[in-house]
Structure 1
Amino acid sequence: MTLALAGGALAQDAQKGGTLRIVGTADLDHFDPTSGALVTTNNFLRATQRTLISYHASTDEEERIRPVGDLATEVPQPTNGGLTYTFHLREGAMWNTPGGARQITSTDFERGVKRMCNPALGSAMLTYFVSLIDGMDTFCDGFAEVEPTVEAMKAYIEENDISGITQPDDLTVDITLSETAGDFIYMVSLPTSAPAPIEVLDYMPDGPEYRENFIASGPYTPVDYVPDASLTLARNPAWSAEADPLRAANVDNIEITFGIQPDAAIQQLQAGDADMVYDITIPPAILSLLTATADDKVMTMSAGRTAFLFINTVSDNNGGALKDLRVRQALNYAIDKTALVQQMGGPAMAQPQSGIFGAGVLGYHDFDLYPSEGDAGDPEKARALLAEAGYPDGITLKMPYRNQNNQPEIAQTIQAAMAEAGITLELTPVTASDYYSKFMTNPRNTEEGAWDIAPVGWAPDWVGGAARSVFQPQFTFDGRHQTYNYTDYNNPEANEVAKQAINATTPEEAARLWAQVDELVMADAPVVPYYSEQVVLYRGPAVENFQPYALGGQGDWTNVWLNR
């Protein structure tokens, strides 16, 4: 009998062996799943770590976003009035510990969740879990008082528990929530909720020793790493295909080379010198050529990705001008979204964006509180608002940008549109690997006015009903600073409607409520949305069974094989 793989490929065709060669511009943000945040990093974590729930890699849009068991044997239905989820772990799912292969247990899962709120390097996804899993807020509040040393953090984790996570036995996890949440199953697909073996408590989270002593649960493990240059993954000897329904692990090794510019990367793919890209956006000129020649190695997928300017309402630059709603509204009127869409390669690759939810996210709808003809901006309206706010001669703002892919051109296009409205932008390039990890997520840079507006992007942290994963980490503040809510923005009314949306019993009701949230946030104008984008994927000629993995926005490294 022939077995079909996700997307229609045939198992009998799969070729084992070889080295998958991947090229990218910037290094991984983190090895540690607890703190990994970038979509691109999810591909590395897919290869090296297991989570309770995950997804099939597939070209089928519906199958790609349907949650399935990974470490869990199946997707459970909640009990206890929708508050308790019981997960049964797969026998034979192993850690590759220094002492040999060892079964992943329910205690390992709780340890992974505990590590999310460590005081040294927490999780950007913590906001989803901390007030939802019963007792986790208490655990995390106590952890915040612990000295951020290896010894103190290890002691706290070993001596304290999260009341809402219990282990009836080594292969069973009961998770009790403080309130019902229809999207909880999606949340435990995130790598940040991956189990953690006890050995990692002997290292600083994601520190050099953690990386040198990396313990994998997926089919691959790092064996050679040169920061900002290269990373090689080899087979994890503790992994078995029988205990993993989602990863075939066809190739023997995966080699990632960093520091490759987009044009060169695509040329390497076309020549067969590389197989896949890591964090590279195909340059529009090359993309136009590929589509014009009907290259069958081009593929697109929707992922709810949006791009926008975050506005710094914290600093006192320009006398605190950006704290004035009228100035923020002026920025929204000034932006030329049509020019930016063209910069991305045209309407087939992107579309103008006016809210916080991108196309494909439940709650996305067609509205614009700051309209302009043809989405090309309204500089006169922007100038009038600036004058009303006390800036008749315009204003000068600092804008950093990632020096990667087409981001320099995007920054210049934004600069030109703002200039038409009397807004002068001082542009500052920042290396891609530092932009989020060191520059934007450093609260001092925000408070001290190192930036006024900043181009940022967001992709939902899970797939399916993912509006919470857009709204909560960027647009809520409960007293705990969230990594990607740079200004601690908060709107109590939006929070209340979001709570109703999370507990909605039908997709239609959830969509209606999330749409309200979108409009409430945009009425405050904390950001300037400008486009939502399709993810364009491309591969080399030797790559077979190229099936997109939704959380990584890329072909699944663990299921491709090589025809060479």
Structure 2
Amino acid sequence: MLRPARIAVFTVSTIAVGSLLAACGSGGGTGSSAGGSAAGAKVTAANCTGGTLYVLNKSKSSSGYDPAVLYTSGGGAIPRLLFRTLTTRQSQPGDAGTKIVPDLATDTGEPSQNATVWTYHLKPGLKYADGTAITSADIKYAVERSFSSQLAGGPPYLRDWLVGGESYQGPYGAGSPELSSITTPDATTIVFHLRKSEGDFPYLASQTQFAPVPKAKDTGKEYNAAPVSSGPYTISSFTKGKELDLVRNTYWDRSTDAQRLACPDNIKISLGLSATVINQRLSASVGNDADAITTDTILDAATLAKVAGNPSVKKRVATGYFADTTYLAFNTKKKPFDNQLVREAFSYAVDRTAVVNAEGGSSLAAATTTFLPASLKAAHQDYDWFPAGRTGNPDKAKQLLAQAGYPNGITVSLAYDNADPAAATALQQAYAKAGITIKLNPIDDSAFSSVVNTPATQPELALTSWGADWPSGAPFLSPIYDGRQIVTGGGNWNLAQYNDAGVNAQIDAINKITDYATAQQKWGELDAQIGKLALNVPLYSEIDSALYGSKVKNTYVDQWRGWYDIASVSVK
């Protein structure tokens, strides 16, 4: 998943701040929840029910809540309150929070034929908020409608993975065609036929595209304002850009859902607020704001420093590492980056400390020399093939440039998103020490992805980032290094345009592995192997912190998104 400049999507691992106990992002142990609860008190379904939770958000949610167009990771906490999926992340702090567990299904899936066929069986007694039964046909239809051009915006995996997915256009239109690679032998069984082995399919099945949609209630583009809920809450009222009110789904049965405590009776979400207002209100924690959280607003460096000086507020800060990597992407089809010696020179000359400082310091960014971030602990392997130290090795870089035929230095253009110019400027100043002249090429935020991710317009060098859709090396490495995923028409994430048959075969082999630990070890080994080619320069992973109200309880941070789990938060 491409991540724009410092958006507030929190993923994967965490560190402890104040009374918040969670896992250490890069190698600590795990802890239990605290977050406003009395010491030793455990929030359970029996003692947490009641009250109103208030959510203060920047997002206007103008596109609504159609599960076809949401990312579970990017759509964040709110969709998980409305929708259940075949699988979901385990609602526990620490490393246990990266585990995939059953949700609507009885298990995480039955693989066969080298993980090209996945079968799921639904739990008995599942119902929508209108009291009707949830069936396997509803899940099939939900996946099918996500292919429609009317509902663009969801993750791309289904089109790539499902047999016939590359040409399928959705169920709307003449004949209401079905996707034959999804079958429903009976009302509680659904089978997916993939065109290639995908051991991570249970993780994909946690995305909102797998939330059931009853065909009779589908209103196409208008479904986003009033989707039929399968989760513990349903929409009472929704004013786009202003507010969203949720009330209990009385047909939701906690006995079939072990992953959502669903403590508050009501959840009132204010939309379109400024980050300054949100942080001021949560910091003051007065009135209803004491029972408030945010699911999309982080603390900037100045506010974080101010909070650090106030112990009563500091203990109400949740901090997490988003599982992403900001990096310099070389276009190896263009000079001078078709020469590995030049790429290595840039790797040696980089000043990661200057970049981290430009992004707000070590409280907001953690330097990295690996493409797989440390927060993906199961897959991450430490390596540093081109040691630059804390501030770069310009002498080594000059030596390599001379060997590459540039004894008098080199001049290149750096494309970057103009919404975040700080790192680009820091890189320009740092690389000058190695005789590398950087010409800055700012691209408007609205056009950055279309320019950089289209091979015909891709610049020679770009500052960009990539984040994990789930805690695995697969969605991190495959889009970046699988040569068969190079897309010429746009939406290309393999910016090195790297296509090696041997690496492609390794990716296929790892995708056949359904044992999580084994697969992650292999992804880590592949990352270290490819890292020797200097196809990019990893710079840093983001660290994001957010406030919550003084009466909010059970704010443990999960290791999937690096954010507290709203489905378990309590105000009672």
TM-score by length of 1: 0.78
- Cα distance in structure 2, aligned partners of 1:126 and 1:200: 25
| Contact 1:124/1:483 (8 A) holds in 2 | no
Q: How far apart are residue 469 of structure 1 and its match? A: 1.5
Where in structure 2 are the equivalents of 1:205-284 lying within 5 Å? 207=221, 209-218=222-231, 219-221=233-235, 223-226=237-240, 229-235=241-247, 237=249, 239-242=251-254, 243-249=256-262, 250-258=264-272, 260-261=274-275, 263-272=276-285, 274=289, 275-284=292-301
Match in the other structure for 2:96:
63
Match in the other structure for 1:424:
438
Match in the other structure for 1:169:
186
| Contact 1:306/1:358 (8 A) holds in 2 | yes
TM-superposition CA deviations, 1:185-220 (whole Å, max 9, x none): 2221222433333257652xxx5x343453433324
Match in the other structure for 2:87:
53
Match in the other structure for 1:459:
467
Q: How far apart are residue 67 of structure 1 and its match? A: 2.1
- Cα distance in structure 2, aligned partners of 1:539 and 1:380: 48
Letter of the structure 2 residue corresponding to residue 397 of structure 1: S
Query: 1:395 and 1:115, CA in 2 relative to 1: closer, same or farther beyond 3 A?
Result: farther
Match in the other structure for 2:557:
548
- Cα distance in structure 2, aligned partners of 1:355 and 1:254: 41
Secondary structure of the 1:185 match is: helix
Q: How far apart are residue 72 of structure 1 and its match? A: 1.5
Match of residue 567, structure 2, among 547, 558, 564: 558
- Cα distance in structure 1, aligned partners of 2:529 and 2:160: 23
Q: How far apart are residue 390 of structure 1 and its match? A: 5.3
Q: How far apart are residue 530 of structure 1 and its match? A: 0.8
| Contact 1:298/1:537 (8 A) holds in 2 | yes
Match in the other structure for 1:310:
329
Secondary structure of the 1:282 match is: coil
Letter of the structure 2 residue corresponding to residue 307 of structure 1: T
TM-superposition CA deviations, 1:337-391 (whole Å, max 9, x none): 12334456655765321222111423311112222123x2233444555563659
TM-superposition CA deviations, 1:60-115 (whole Å, max 9, x none): x133122222111343554677665442223443445xxx4432211122223334
Kindly report the root-mean-square deviation, in angstroms, between the aligned alpha carbons of the 2 structures.
3.7
Query: 1:264 and 1:474, CA in 2 relative to 1: closer, same or farther beyond 3 A?
Result: farther
| Contact 1:25/1:260 (8 A) holds in 2 | no
TM-superposition CA deviations, 1:444-488 (whole Å, max 9, x none): 87456475544433332123xx11021123332426738461635
Q: Which moved more, 1:476-485 or 1:454-463?
A: 476-485
Answer 1 or 2: higher relative contact order, Cα 8 Å, separation at least 6. Answer: 2
Match in the other structure for 2:57:
23
Q: How far apart are residue 529 of structure 1 and its match? A: 1.0
Query: 1:239 and 1:368, CA in 2 relative to 1: closer, same or farther beyond 3 A?
Result: farther
Query: 1:540 and 1:378, CA in 2 relative to 1: closer, same or farther beyond 3 A?
Result: same
Match in the other structure for 1:3:
none
Q: Which moved more, 1:480-489 or 1:392-401?
A: 480-489
| Contact 1:445/1:451 (8 A) holds in 2 | no
| Contact 1:418/1:425 (8 A) holds in 2 | no
| Contact 2:160/2:166 (8 A) holds in 1 | no
Query: 1:199 and 1:336, CA in 2 relative to 1: closer, same or farther beyond 3 A?
Result: farther
Query: 1:185 and 1:197, CA in 2 relative to 1: closer, same or farther beyond 3 A?
Result: same
Letter of the structure 1 residue corresponding to residue 135 of structure 2: T
Match of residue 384, structure 2, among 368, 372, 377: 368
Match of residue 297, structure 1, among 305, 316, 323: 316
Match in the other structure for 2:484:
478
Q: Which moved more, 1:451-460 or 1:46-55?
A: 451-460
- Cα distance in structure 2, aligned partners of 1:417 and 1:446: 28
Q: Which moved more, 1:154-163 or 1:246-255?
A: 154-163
Match in the other structure for 2:14:
none
Q: How far apart are residue 183 of structure 1 and its match? A: 2.9
TM-superposition CA deviations, 1:368-422 (whole Å, max 9, x none): 2222123x2233444555563659453242433363xxx4444433343234443
Secondary structure of the 2:442 match is: strand
- Cα distance in structure 2, aligned partners of 1:268 and 1:211: 29
Match in the other structure for 2:126:
93
Letter of the structure 2 residue corresponding to residue 305 of structure 1: D
Match of residue 340, structure 1, among 355, 379, 389: 355
Query: 1:42 and 1:278, CA in 2 relative to 1: closer, same or farther beyond 3 A?
Result: closer
Secondary structure of the 2:172 match is: helix
Structure number having the greater helix percentage:
1
- Cα distance in structure 2, aligned partners of 1:75 and 1:453: 41
Q: How far apart are residue 497 of structure 1 and its match? A: 1.9
Match in the other structure for 1:501:
510
- Cα distance in structure 2, aligned partners of 1:36 and 1:418: 39
Secondary structure of the 1:87 match is: strand
Letter of the structure 1 residue corresponding to residue 373 of structure 2: G
Letter of the structure 1 residue corresponding to residue 482 of structure 2: T
Letter of the structure 1 residue corresponding to residue 136 of structure 2: S
Match in the other structure for 1:149:
none
Gaps (5+ residues) in structure 2? 1-31, 34-41
| Contact 2:454/2:492 (8 A) holds in 1 | no
1:142 aligns with 2:167: yes
Q: How far apart are residue 46 of structure 1 and its match? A: 1.4
| Contact 1:49/1:216 (8 A) holds in 2 | yes
| Contact 1:124/1:484 (8 A) holds in 2 | no
Match in the other structure for 2:205:
188
Secondary structure of the 1:373 match is: coil
TM-score by length of 2: 0.77
Letter of the structure 2 residue corresponding to residue 278 of structure 1: T
Secondary structure of the 1:51 match is: coil
Q: Which moved more, 1:491-500 or 1:444-453?
A: 444-453
Match of residue 410, structure 2, among 394, 403, 415: 394
